[in-house]
Structure 1
Amino acid sequence: MIEFSGVEVTYTDEVAPVLSDVDFTVAEGELCLVTGRTGAGKSTLLGLVNGLVPHFTGGRLRGSVRVSGVDTADQPPREFAELVGVVGQDPLAGFVTDTVEEELAYGMEQLAVPAAVMRKRVEETLDLLGIAELRARPLATLSGGQQQRVAIGAVLTAHPAVLVLDEPTSALDPTAAEEVLAAITRLVHDLGTTVVIAEHRMERVVQYADRVLYLPGDGTVRDGEPASMMKISDVAPPIVELGRVAGWDPLPLSVRDARRAAAPLRARLAETTRSDCLGRQGETVLAASKVVVRYGDVLAVRAVSLDLRGGEVVAMMGRNGSGKSSLLWAVQGSGTRADGTVTVRGKDPKALKPQHARTLVGLVPQTPSDLLYLDSVDAECAQADAESGAAAGSCRALLDRLTPGIDGGRHPRDLSEGQKLALVLAIQLVAAPPVLLLDEPTRGLDYHAKRHLASVLGELAAAGHAIAVATHDVEFVASAADRVVVLAEGEVVADGPTREVVVASPAFAPQVAKVLAPQEWLTVAEVEKALGR
């Protein structure tokens, strides 16, 4: 179905090719997982499948990419619309209508699908992705995870033979991600759809994959069965890393496989003592009392009270639409707040001018590029210094500490997702706010980048900052958070130490906890330490 032959891609103004001498074939009805570090070329590989690379992105393509026998170099991307469906990392950027139902129908309208067939497919897709109750909602009012499901649905209604997905579960809560992946595997098994997925949260996908394309970052692509590729991949889910520590062969790809092999490891760990961190208890920096957020008739946050203490990393979890983002923006001061009070060291951020408010609370949104509006990294850093009253070079110094080596002359929107996050984080931190809020910061980050982010947040907490992170990434929470607050329907339903909250939850428990239950281990690092490694 998909054939790469001697493919090499070099972008304009770049000396080295992003991909070089790439040869592989994806058969009809296969689910193919594309893995590799951030910036290794995964998005370029996906863009080649429907001709966006190089027709839209520019650059030079050597070799050939054929989809169902058609060379993508011979046809513009629009000619592949019926054959290849693509869902990008940013669903909002791809929407062209106003409501969910209109968006699901739009692609079929362009393909002249009969009205009766369109109606049937829209209903099937609404049910398949569990978004029937959203059919009349404006797209702009949906949460990031809800937008992600609508974007996938808009592609599925056209019934493409090839489905290309770039980070399809990055904005979804664990349950919603399972539903979407179940729908995708159903397409593969029942309809013979060929699916190519690039996904950093490999723990969600690798067990369903028929094959893995691993990009080590040197321009090459390695192709093989999932288990064999996990032996050589430098990005691997926790369950594979646990298998490496325990010496399991073959390496497990699912919790079920790992539990079958885990009895000896559990016995060894039962004889060890786990050294729990008691948390960093500081003074209350932010106090929110009975905060209410309302959008028209929708009550997004229902009288929530929340305290953030200095020296503590708090994870806010909950299904899509539970009110996490709304609460963060209300607490920060820029968002809607219908009722309730928020004080940061005695002041309400909402009552202050923006330049003063950011010295109290910094917020990194779901899409970091929303805060980037200048034409170079150096310009963004200089502007942040000026707005914060910081010494020249302060923001750049912070950026180099987070992610060293970024070219100051590069346009911010040309950076990788991890680099954009680091730049926005530096911009917010240069104002030295005592409270830092992050909304889904791990989207687009590989495991190495997430470990680095967890380390940075730990250092900031140790320096006295109060940090709240809204996220669906249970593995990141297990490694980074001291405390977890779970929201549902705009209300707090759980609040306590990370281990106490997540281990007891089927949805929010990390892979290591599931494998080693009833013992309460959260991360591979904990296991390694207990074993003296």
Structure 2
Amino acid sequence: MIRFESVSMRYPDSTNPVLHDATFEIPEGELCLVVGQTGTGKTTLLRAINGLVPHFTGGTLSGRVLVDGRDTRTHRPRDLADVVGLVGQDPLANFVTDTVEDELAYGMESLGLPPDVMRTRVEETLDLLGLAGVRGRPIATLSGGQQQRVAIGAVLTTHPRVLVLDEPTSALDPQAAEEVLAALQRLVHDLGVTVVLAEHRLERVVEYADRVVLVPGDGRALEVGPPAQVLASSSVAPPVVELGRLAGWDPLPLSVRDARRLAGPLRERLAAIPPPVRGRDGNHGIDRTHGTDGDPPAVASARGLIVTYGGGRTARSGRRPALRDLDLDVAPGEVVALMGRNGAGKSTLLNALVGLVRPTAGTLRVAGIDPTRHKPREIARAVGLVPQDPGALLYAETVAQECRQADRDFGAEPGRCAEILARLAPGVPDDRHPRDLSEGQRLCLALAVVLTGRPPLLLLDEPTRGLDYLAKARLARIVEDLVAEGRGVVFATHDVELVAEIASRVVVLAEGEVVADGPVGAVIAASPTFAPQVAKILRPLPWLTVADVAAALEHAS
């Protein structure tokens, strides 16, 4: 169905090719997973399948890409629209209508399908992706995860033979991600659709893949093969594979179920070793939620917080509050993870803490100020927010200009922002326009800009979208440094592995209310939804990460 023949791709003003001599095939009816570190060329490879590369991106492509026998050199994206459907990393950039139903129907209208066929497919897709409850909603009012599902649905309604997805589950909660992946499985197994997807959260998708394409970057050749074979030595691997490497399991497991079958001896060794303590008095900050006389003042505090979009204090106004009577304290040196399904109110809470949303009722204090009553420059020195769309913070023509401007805005010593960026994402070109960076690189640049101001409180909304495991490890080290300096960190995420790595406390929201609040181990270890892979494999033992297990085994030997 898809064939790459000696494909190399070089963008304008770039000395090195993004792809080099890529040669491989993807048969019809397979699910192919594209993996690699941030910025290695995964998105370029995906866009080459429908001709966006090089017809709309520019640059020089050598070799050829064949899709269902059509050569993308002579077939532009519109000529492949009946065969290939593409869902990019940023769904908002591709929406062309205002409401969910209209967006689902738009692609079919472009193909001239009959109204009765369109109606049937819209209904099927609404049910398939769990969107029936928001069918008439304006897309702009949906959460990031809901928008992601709408973007996927808008492509699915056209019934493409090849479906290409870039980070399809990055903004989805675990349950929604499972629903989307189950839908993709049905397309592959029941309808013979060829699915090609790039995903950094390999723990979610690797067990479903028929083959893996590893994009190493730096002009090196691609590695293509069965998932276990490719990931056995890859620097990019999910926790289940990392734990299998550590324990010496053979064959290497790709799913929690397979790993549990092999984990009996490892559980016996770990049963006599006390696991590390997380949360209250643990090694990831101190839980001072309720505080005592000897505790330092909270870096953030909310009391009775109510936020209702469009006005109105309660549902009697016709609108359900996004936050309802919420109380929250964040202590210095504390890392708080906000979790919950899409639309639970996580982003709304972060936006309220930084003054972007005005509460309907309740009080807020952040680093000693009320963010609803101070100017943006004063707020920026108290609290920094990296939103789901990091490009919203970037406006300069080059990375270097962005960093210099951040230094000037915060009165920092020259080079501070560039130094932070180098720690987060080494090798980002100074002369590259921010819009030409990968999603992960753009997020790292926005984070570097915010951290330049050294705010007492850092807010992160889905901070690992577009980040590979190595980039997440660098982010974790940055957070550790902030904790050591006594700064507070609050991040909204669906990435349970990140929560296990860096959080000291977890707050779970549902329909704008706090339904759980406690140390990370107590909240997520026993949860069927939020438990990380290591916790599922080693249950009932309360271990959360591969690093914890490795340290314990080394200490015991």
Q: TM-score, normalised by structure 2?
A: 0.94
Which residues of 2 match residues 152-301 of structure 1 at below 5 A?
152-219=152-219, 220-277=221-278, 278=282, 279-281=284-286, 283=296, 284-296=298-310, 297-301=319-323
- For residues 20 and 407 of structure 1, do their structure 2 counterparts lie closer, same or farther at Cα, with a shift above 3 Å needed? closer
| SS, match of residue 250 in structure 2 | coil
- Does the aligned pair in 2 maintain the 1:292–1:339 contact within 8 Å? yes
Once residues 409 and 61 of structure 1 are traced to their aligned partners in structure 2, the CA distance between those partners, rounded to angstroms, is 22
| SS, match of residue 326 in structure 2 | strand
User: Which AA in structure 1 matches 2:322?
Assistant: A
> Which has the larger displacement, 208-217 or 487-496?
208-217
Once residues 512 and 223 of structure 1 are traced to their aligned partners in structure 2, the CA distance between those partners, rounded to angstroms, is 27
Once residues 515 and 275 of structure 2 are traced to their aligned partners in structure 1, the CA distance between those partners, rounded to angstroms, is 28
> Which has the larger displacement, 58-67 or 82-91?
58-67
Quick check: 1:446 aligned with 2:468? yes
Which residues of 2 match residues 9-24 of structure 1 at below 5 A?
9-24=9-24
Match of 2:97?
Answer: 97
Match of 1:339?
Answer: 361
Quick check: 1:408 aligned with 2:430? yes
- Does the aligned pair in 1 maintain the 2:323–2:349 contact within 8 Å? yes
User: Which AA in structure 1 matches 2:78?
Assistant: R
- For residues 208 and 403 of structure 1, do their structure 2 counterparts lie closer, same or farther at Cα, with a shift above 3 Å needed? closer
- Does the aligned pair in 1 maintain the 2:423–2:474 contact within 8 Å? no
- Does the aligned pair in 2 maintain the 1:230–1:251 contact within 8 Å? no
Quick check: 1:420 aligned with 2:442? yes
Once residues 96 and 157 of structure 1 are traced to their aligned partners in structure 2, the CA distance between those partners, rounded to angstroms, is 15
- Does the aligned pair in 2 maintain the 1:355–1:388 contact within 8 Å? no
> Which has the larger displacement, 418-427 or 517-526?
418-427
Once residues 8 and 426 of structure 2 are traced to their aligned partners in structure 1, the CA distance between those partners, rounded to angstroms, is 28
- Does the aligned pair in 1 maintain the 2:425–2:471 contact within 8 Å? no
- Does the aligned pair in 1 maintain the 2:3–2:65 contact within 8 Å? yes
- Does the aligned pair in 2 maintain the 1:364–1:425 contact within 8 Å? yes
| SS, match of residue 17 in structure 2 | coil
Q: CA deviation at 1:406?
A: 3.2
Once residues 168 and 345 of structure 1 are traced to their aligned partners in structure 2, the CA distance between those partners, rounded to angstroms, is 36
User: Which AA in structure 2 matches 1:280?
Assistant: G
Runs of 5+ consecutive residues of structure 1 not aligned to the other structure: none
The C-alpha deviation readout for 1:22-46, integer Å capped at 9, x for no partner, is: 1111111001111111111111110
- For residues 156 and 268 of structure 1, do their structure 2 counterparts lie closer, same or farther at Cα, with a shift above 3 Å needed? same
Q: CA deviation at 1:285?
A: 1.4
Q: CA deviation at 1:232?
A: 2.4
Once residues 122 and 210 of structure 2 are traced to their aligned partners in structure 1, the CA distance between those partners, rounded to angstroms, is 29
Q: CA deviation at 1:432?
A: 2.1
- For residues 40 and 404 of structure 1, do their structure 2 counterparts lie closer, same or farther at Cα, with a shift above 3 Å needed? closer
Q: CA deviation at 1:392?
A: 3.5
The C-alpha deviation readout for 1:180-231, integer Å capped at 9, x for no partner, is: 0000000011110000010000110010111111112243211111111111
- Does the aligned pair in 2 maintain the 1:314–1:467 contact within 8 Å? yes
Q: CA deviation at 1:441?
A: 0.5
- Does the aligned pair in 1 maintain the 2:367–2:457 contact within 8 Å? no
- Does the aligned pair in 1 maintain the 2:38–2:441 contact within 8 Å? no
Q: CA deviation at 1:251?
A: 0.5
User: Which AA in structure 1 matches 2:49?
Assistant: V
Which residues of 2 match residues 498-513 of structure 1 at below 5 A?
498-513=520-535
Q: CA deviation at 1:13?
A: 1.5
Q: CA deviation at 1:404?
A: 4.1
| SS, match of residue 120 in structure 1 | helix
Q: CA deviation at 1:504?
A: 1.6
Task: Tell me the C-alpha RMSD between the 2 structures.
Answer: 1.3
Quick check: 1:67 aligned with 2:67? yes
User: Which AA in structure 1 matches 2:46?
Assistant: L
Once residues 64 and 345 of structure 1 are traced to their aligned partners in structure 2, the CA distance between those partners, rounded to angstroms, is 56
- Does the aligned pair in 1 maintain the 2:534–2:544 contact within 8 Å? yes
Q: CA deviation at 1:405?
A: 4.1
| SS, match of residue 200 in structure 2 | coil
Q: CA deviation at 1:337?
A: 1.7
The C-alpha deviation readout for 1:358-400, integer Å capped at 9, x for no partner, is: 1111100011111101112222222223322333333333333
Once residues 358 and 372 of structure 2 are traced to their aligned partners in structure 1, the CA distance between those partners, rounded to angstroms, is 10
Quick check: 1:382 aligned with 2:382? no
Match of 2:506?
Answer: 484
Match of 1:519?
Answer: 541
Match of 1:429?
Answer: 451
Match of 2:117?
Answer: 117
> Which has the larger displacement, 475-484 or 208-217?
208-217
- Does the aligned pair in 2 maintain the 1:350–1:357 contact within 8 Å? no
Match of 2:381?
Answer: 359
Q: CA deviation at 1:433?
A: 1.3
Once residues 25 and 405 of structure 1 are traced to their aligned partners in structure 2, the CA distance between those partners, rounded to angstroms, is 31
Match of 1:327?
Answer: 349
Once residues 207 and 454 of structure 2 are traced to their aligned partners in structure 1, the CA distance between those partners, rounded to angstroms, is 43
Runs of 5+ consecutive residues of structure 2 not aligned to the other structure: 287-294, 311-318
Q: After the TM superposition, which parts of structure 1 deviate over 6 Å for at least 4 consecutive aligned residues?
A: none
| SS, match of residue 299 in structure 2 | strand
- Does the aligned pair in 2 maintain the 1:294–1:336 contact within 8 Å? no
- Does the aligned pair in 2 maintain the 1:382–1:392 contact within 8 Å? yes
| SS, match of residue 351 in structure 1 | coil
Once residues 208 and 276 of structure 1 are traced to their aligned partners in structure 2, the CA distance between those partners, rounded to angstroms, is 34
Quick check: 1:35 aligned with 2:35? yes
- Does the aligned pair in 2 maintain the 1:293–1:336 contact within 8 Å? yes
- Does the aligned pair in 1 maintain the 2:345–2:509 contact within 8 Å? yes
Once residues 119 and 173 of structure 2 are traced to their aligned partners in structure 1, the CA distance between those partners, rounded to angstroms, is 28
| SS, match of residue 477 in structure 1 | helix
- For residues 272 and 508 of structure 1, do their structure 2 counterparts lie closer, same or farther at Cα, with a shift above 3 Å needed? same
Once residues 162 and 419 of structure 2 are traced to their aligned partners in structure 1, the CA distance between those partners, rounded to angstroms, is 45
Q: CA deviation at 1:472?
A: 0.3
Once residues 438 and 65 of structure 2 are traced to their aligned partners in structure 1, the CA distance between those partners, rounded to angstroms, is 25
Counting matched residue pairs gives 533
Once residues 416 and 164 of structure 1 are traced to their aligned partners in structure 2, the CA distance between those partners, rounded to angstroms, is 17
Match of 2:292?
Answer: none
- For residues 393 and 35 of structure 1, do their structure 2 counterparts lie closer, same or farther at Cα, with a shift above 3 Å needed? closer
Once residues 354 and 35 of structure 1 are traced to their aligned partners in structure 2, the CA distance between those partners, rounded to angstroms, is 39
Q: CA deviation at 1:71?
A: 0.7
Once residues 206 and 55 of structure 1 are traced to their aligned partners in structure 2, the CA distance between those partners, rounded to angstroms, is 31
Q: TM-score, normalised by structure 1?
A: 0.98
The C-alpha deviation readout for 1:432-463, integer Å capped at 9, x for no partner, is: 21111000000000011011101111110110
Which residues of 2 match residues 76-95 of structure 1 at below 5 A?
76-95=76-95
| SS, match of residue 397 in structure 1 | helix
